């Protein structure tokens, strides 16, 4: 996202602002996520995975090798996505951990495939890590599959079954008091953050593929959530153009097409996705309260840099040079 061709520019020149110091949404896409380095291999490499030799092209990570061979241990790699689609690797869920003889336990989805590496998928520490991390994901996921529109086509459900999860060790997120209201404002996309695993695929689809600049990652710690770059609370008030890419990439029932929210709900009267949560926001909209195209709207983002430049002679001189 950020490459600086003129390296003598002061570092903060990358961040553009308005007169009052805040950035305009039409100038800066601010997904709130880190700019990861390029984690793919520079050269083609032959690696050994559970005793089998696999040759991978340049631009590969270990997971590419795992996908091309039969592995001893099941490696869910839940949050990963096809990296040719410009999404990921986010490497947040850590259910792709494998043991390597060279570097110990590493995340296969974001570890470059280097020539001669030896990978064991069934090593104790690696399989323990995958099991625990999958259960940690489930601990913060509301497991109300029977009212979920993704029931039967949910990646989290799929890997949990494949991994033999019966009773997640840390339980599931089932305290209704703690549920975040479902965002039902948009006629096209419903958001249930209680099912979100923060894989960031939707944010990348929205920003890096569609360049729509609507979704962002916000907050920190347990308050981390998917939000909107124009800081509004509902999808309808955001600058969403309803392209639907976020829904397509969502691995769980967090983002579902409105027409399909109850497609796989058990047919019992009063048994719906919405009342599985009980709290709804955005039901009152009859039309989109603002233009979808952010360039016309005078919307602020909250992407003020967290750093401040300390006044020094050197800083002033550099800032002056940048204006030339």
Partner 1 sequence: MTEAGIIGADPAVRIAVGGDTRTTGEELLRSVRETSASVMVAEVGATGLRGLEPLVLATLDGETAFLPRCSVERAQSAVEALDDGSLPTGGAMAVVEHEPGIGRLPTPSDGPLAAGERTVLSACGWAMPTSVEDYRAVGAFVAPDVEAPDEATARLDEAGLRGRGRCDAATDGAIADRWATAREAEGDPAVVVNANEADPRATMDRLLLESAPLAVLDAALAAGYALDATNVLVYCNEADSLAHERASEAVAVLEDELDEPIPIEVLAGPDEYKAGETTMAIEALEGNHRLEARLRPPYPSEEGLHGRPTLVHTPRTLVQVDEVLSKGDGDHDAAADRRTRLFTVHGDDVPSTTVELSADDDLSAAREAVPFDDHLKAACVGGVFGGLTRSLDVPARANALSAAGLGTNGVIELFGDEQCMVAFAGDRAAFGETENCGRCVPCREGTKQLTEMLRDVYHGEYASEKLRELMRVMTNTSICSFGEDAPRPVRTAMNEFEPEFRAHADGRCPAGTCK
Spatial strand order in the sheet of 104-107: 52-56, 45-49, 118-120, 97-100, 104-107
Pick the closer one to partner 1 by CB: 36 or 101: 36
> Which residue from 7, 3, 200 is spatially nearest to 110, judged by alpha carbons?
200
Bridge partners of 48, per DSSP, are 53, 118
Measure the CA–CA gap between 31 and 156, rounded to whole angstroms.
24
Residue from 132, 243, 280, 281 that binds partner 1 (CB under 8 A)? 132
Whether the Cβ atoms of residue 281 and residue 228 lie closer than 8 Å to each other = no
Contact letters for partner 1, residues 43-62 (x by CB under 8 A): --------------------
74 binds partner 1 (CB under 8 A): no
What's the gap between Cα 293 and its chain centre? 23
Element (H, E) at 183: strand 182-183
Pick the closer one to partner 1 by CB: 44 or 314: 314
224 binds partner 1 (CB under 8 A): yes
Residues in contact with partner 1, counted by CB under 8 A, come to a total of 70
User: How many other CB atoms sit within 10 Å of the CB of residue 220?
Assistant: 8
219 binds partner 1 (CB under 8 A): yes
Please return the burial class of 74, using the count of CB atoms within 10 Å of its CB with bins 0-12, 13-18 and 19+. Answer: middle
Residue from 4, 18, 272, 291 that binds partner 1 (CB under 8 A)? 4
Residue 149 CB, nearest approach to partner 1 (Å): 24
Q: What are phi and psi of 255, to 5 degrees?
A: -125, 115
252 binds partner 1 (CB under 8 A): no
Taking CB under 8 A as the binding criterion, the range among 36-44, 64-72, 245-253, 270-278 that sits at the site for partner 1 is 36-44
Taking CB under 8 A as the binding criterion, the range among 63-71, 128-136, 176-184, 276-284 that sits at the site for partner 1 is 128-136
81 binds partner 1 (CB under 8 A): no
161 binds partner 1 (CB under 8 A): no
Pick the closer one to partner 1 by CB: 135 or 184: 135
Element (H, E) at 23: none
Measure the CA–CA gap between 218 and 232, rounded to whole angstroms.
12
Element (H, E) at 63: helix 62-67
Residue 11 CB, nearest approach to partner 1 (Å): 6
Contacting positions for partner 1 (CB under 8 A): 2-4, 7-8, 10-12, 14-15, 30, 32-39, 89, 91-95, 97, 104-105, 107, 110-112, 125, 128-129, 132-133, 136-137, 139-140, 169-170, 197-198, 217-224, 301-315, 317-318
């Amino acid at each position: 996202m950020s490459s600086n061709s003129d390296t003598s520019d002061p570092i903060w020149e990358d961040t553009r602002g308005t007169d009052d110091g805040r950035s305009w949404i039409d100038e800066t896409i601010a997904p709130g996520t880190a700019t990861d380095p390029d984690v793919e291999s520079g050269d083609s490499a032959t690696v050994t995975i559970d005793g089998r030799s696999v040759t991978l092209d340049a631009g590969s990570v270990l997971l590419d090798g795992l996908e091309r061979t039969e592995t001893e241990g099941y490696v869910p790699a839940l949050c990963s996505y096809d990296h040719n689609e410009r999404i990921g690797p986010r490497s947040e869920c850590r259910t792709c951990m494998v043991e390597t003889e060279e570097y110990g336990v590493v995340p296969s989805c974001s570890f470059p495939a280097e020539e001669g590496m030896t990978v064991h998928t069934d090593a104790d520490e690696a399989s323990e890590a995958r099991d625990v991390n999958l259960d940690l994901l489930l601990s913060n996921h509301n497991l109300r599959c029977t009212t979920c529109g993704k029931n039967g086509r949910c990646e989290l459900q799929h890997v949990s079954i494949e991994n033999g999860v019966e009773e997640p060790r840390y339980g599931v997120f089932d305290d209704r008091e703690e549920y975040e209201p479902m965002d039902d404002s948009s006629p096209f996309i419903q958001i249930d953050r209680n099912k979100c695993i923060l894989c960031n695929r939707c944010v990348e689809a929205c920003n890096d593929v569609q360049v729509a600049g609507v979704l962002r990652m916000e907050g920190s710690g347990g308050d981390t959530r998917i939000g909107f770059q124009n800081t509004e609370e509902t999808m309808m008030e955001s600058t969403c153009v309803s392209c639907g890419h976020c829904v397509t990439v969502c691995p769980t029932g967090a983002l579902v097409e409105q027409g399909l929210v109850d497609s796989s709900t058990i047919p019992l009267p009063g048994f719906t996705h919405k009342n599985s949560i009980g709290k709804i926001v955005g039901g009152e909209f009859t039309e989109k309260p603002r233009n979808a195209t952010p360039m016309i709207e005078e919307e602020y983002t909250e992407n003020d840099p967290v750093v401040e430049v300390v006044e020094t002679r050197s800083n002033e001189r550099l800032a002056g040079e940048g204006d030339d």
